[in-house]
Amino acid sequence: MTSKNLFATAVITLAFISCATNPFTGKQTMAIVPNSELFPAAFQQYDQFLNEHDVIKGTKDAEMIKRVGEKIATAAKQWLDANGYQGYLKDYKWEYNLIKDDQKNAWCMPGGKIVFYTGILPIANGEAGVATIMGHEVSHALANHGQQRMSAAYVQQGIAMAGNMAINNESDRDAFNSYYGVGSNVLGMLPFSRSHESEADKIGLTLMAIAGYDPAEAVGLWERMAAESGGQAPPELLSTHPSNQTRINNLKALVPTARAEAKKFGVTSFIK
């Protein structure tokens, strides 16, 4: 067996035997790359990123990012502990940094390393908006979405290699590569990514509510996001994210559930 065959076989096999449980859905998810390897690599990349960018310290905005992040992390621990996942966060190393940059973006690396760009603060329009964004980004890390995407990419590559090895005719192989490339993205990877975004919206809404922020503020945030985009977005079918309107509709429907979940933790009034 060639090395390519071995790689393809190993990847596909690992996809079936390497699984982790998503605590927020109870579903088994792919975990070809374990967090014991993923987290240290992410921490190293994060430190390198900070060294190469303008990190803002000591301002009201920087302190707000840290304050909101700590509240969301505490809410996550409360929810996980209450639902039988004590110790789930033991390898997370939370860190929250504000970066001077006009990008309208924020992200959280596997293991809890978070960046907000100053460009997104006007859209956040206050602490509750920051909590919406923070809850969403932290949820990607908590649900191991990075791990799942990496695992899915390995499987996609493994199937492509297996197909190329199995098809001897060159024209048939070229057709397979063309159709598989488009099909695996449109029917596989893109819906996979959109499902992660919707899942992070749902989890994030719950976390921000437990942290004491009004989950209804998430609707306003995404309405501002939609206005900022000016309608310039690819069709949802060809996008890694749900459309703005889909997100807004989903969030409106989820607000009562998030408030009910927060009530279990004694939270009945919210910061707007």
pLDDT single digits (tens) 213-261: 999 999 999 999 989 877 666 666 557 678 889 999 999 999 999 999 9
Residue 90 falls inside a structural domain? yes
Residue 268 falls inside a structural domain? no
Task: Say which residues have a Cβ less than 8 Å from residue 243's Cβ, sequence separation at least 6.
Answer: 233, 236
> Domain residues for 110?
3-263
| Number of C-beta neighbours around residue 166 at 10 A | 11
pTM: 0.82
pLDDT single digits (tens) 60-76: 999 999 999 999 999 99
Residue 56 falls inside a structural domain? yes
Residue 207 falls inside a structural domain? yes
Residue 271 falls inside a structural domain? no
**Residue 1 burial (10 A CB sphere; 0-12, 13-18, 19+):** exposed
137 given a catalytic annotation: yes
Phi-psi category of residue 84: left, alpha or beta, with phi > 0 → left and psi -120 to 50 → alpha = left
pLDDT single digits (tens) 157-174: 767 677 677 787 777 676
CATH code, domain with 33 = 3.40.390
DSSP conformational letter for 56: E
Residue 272 has pLDDT above 60, yes or no: yes
Residue 272 falls inside a structural domain? no
Contact at 8 Å (CB) between 98 and 74?
no
| Catalytic entry in 95, 137, 199, 217 | 137
Residue 97 falls inside a structural domain? yes
| Domain count within the chain | 1
Residue 132 falls inside a structural domain? yes
| pLDDT at residue 11, rounded to an integer | 45
d(CA 61, CA 67): 10
Task: Say which residues have a Cβ less than 8 Å from residue 154's Cβ, sequence separation at least 6.
Answer: 11, 14, 15, 32, 33
